[in-house]
Amino acid sequence: MLDPNQPLEAEINRLRREMNAVILAHYYQEDDIQDIADFVGDSLDLARKAATTTADAIVFCGVKFMAEGAKILNPTKRVLLPDMNAGCSLEDSCPPAAFAKFKAQHPDHIVVTYINCSAEVKALSDIIVTSTNAEHIIRQIPENQPIIFAPDKFLGSYLMKKTGRDMVLWNGTCIVHERFSEQELVKLKTRHPKAYIIAHPECPEDILKYAHHVGSTSSLLRFTKEHPGSEFIVLTEPGIIHQMRQQSPGSMFYEAPGIVGSACVSCNTCPFMKLNTMEKLYLCMKNKTPELTLAPALMDAARAPLARMLEMSQPK
Ligand code: 13P
Ligand code: SF4
């Protein structure tokens, strides 16, 4: 049980010093977690930080596939995740056994996989990508080399358009980005005609066609900083608006709604990312659990495609 009078921030700071831990947080985490983290970033930034940290422990405030990446790149370090149920619908959409069969049906294809997948699927892949580096990495693959892209079909279609490459796509989606409503977006655009529309490439084409800028979370954040004093309709998880408001206080940000009347209460919020809370962050540091562990052979197999991603990415 937590003491309601306990100053949570002070306790987390004390434990961070005691454990020599680094707290890494994704932009979709709740505001308080972003504020207390040592570093906030997109999937690529966080993988890079995890690969180079000198801390003894990594406390990963994100989803499980991200924490797994940190562990794979740092097998001797303790990696804690405040809630081990923080999964990802893209990971769920790509079960390793089915993916192995799919891969076997395309034996001459190179397997390029979005980082939003399990360690088992990473181990079946040749190169991992994130939405920040995917286009840059795909452009380095020889023209005559056929490609499988998994698991996000919308990011895959977007990349096919951008690069002109024909790729065989796995049929996976992100439940947050696929639910933005074109009808609601058009209504919002009519109310705010001067607003820039900015979207993550996990959104479907019927949403991306309205966007002035498409990019990863860090790319969307950069775009807002480059256009100070503007209005933005944001088509990604609204957690990132915290950073956007802090970094561009003179701008206005509007959350794009999901499909009105659908079963979810807040369709644009990632239910997995939001499982982490300040209380769970404190408790995981205090109790040193839940700790992420993976079989050494699996980590070895998944490390090569992740390391290839870091080598092939543009320097920061
Ligand atoms: P980014 O790499 O753009 O931060 O994306 C992570 C993610 O899960 C998007 O839904
Ligand atoms: Fe996965 Fe989508 Fe949540 Fe990102 S926003 S972690 S892709 S479910």
Nearest protein CA to atom 6 of ligand 1, as residue: 43
| CA 143 to ligand 2 centroid distance, Å | 30
Closest residue CA from atom 6 of ligand 2: 88
pLDDT in tens, the chain (316 residues): 667 777 899 999 999 999 999 999 999 999 999 999 999 999 999 999 999 999 999 999 999 999 999 999 999 999 999 999 999 999 999 999 999 999 999 999 999 999 999 999 999 999 999 999 999 999 999 999 999 999 999 999 999 999 999 999 999 999 999 999 999 999 999 999 999 999 999 999 999 999 999 999 999 999 999 999 999 999 999 999 999 999 999 999 999 977 666 656 567 899 999 999 999 999 999 999 999 999 999 999 999 999 999 999 988 7
pLDDT at 156: 98
Ligand 2 centroid to 142 CA: how many Å?
A: 30
Ligand 2 pocket member 88 (CB < 6 A): yes
Identify the structural domains of the chain with CATH numbers, from first to last: 8-87+273-294 (3.40.50.10800), 90-174+301-312 (3.40.50.10800), 177-255 (3.40.50.10800)
The answer to whether the CB of 216 is under 6 A from ligand 1 is yes
Q: Which pLDDT does position 287 carry in this prediction? A: 97
Q: What residue owns the CA closest to ligand 1's atom 8?
A: 116
Probe target for ligand 2 pocket from 174, 217, 269, with the most ligand atoms within 8 Å of CB: 174
Taking only the tens place, the pLDDT of each residue in 62-88 is 999 999 999 999 999 999 999 999 999
7 Cα to the center of ligand 1, angstroms: 31
Q: pTM for the full model?
A: 0.96
3-state secondary structure the chain: CCCCCCCHHHHHHHHHHHHCEEEEEECCCCHHHHHHCCEEECHHHHHHHHHHCCCCEEEEECCHHHHHHHHHHCCCCEEECCCCCCCCHHHHCCCHHHHHHHHHCCCCCEEEEECCCCHHHHHCCCEEECCCCHHHHHCCCCCCCCEEEECEHHHHHHHHHHHCCCEEECCECCCCHHHECHHHHHHHHHHCCCCEEEECCCCCHHHHCCCCEECCHHHHHHHHHHCCCCEEEEECCHHHHHHHHHHCCCCEEEECCECCCCCCCCCCCCCCHHHCCHHHHHHHHHHCCCECCCCHHHHHHHHHHHHHHHHHCCCC
Q: Measured in angstroms, how far is the CA atom of residue 217 from the centroid of ligand 1?
A: 6
pLDDT at 242: 98
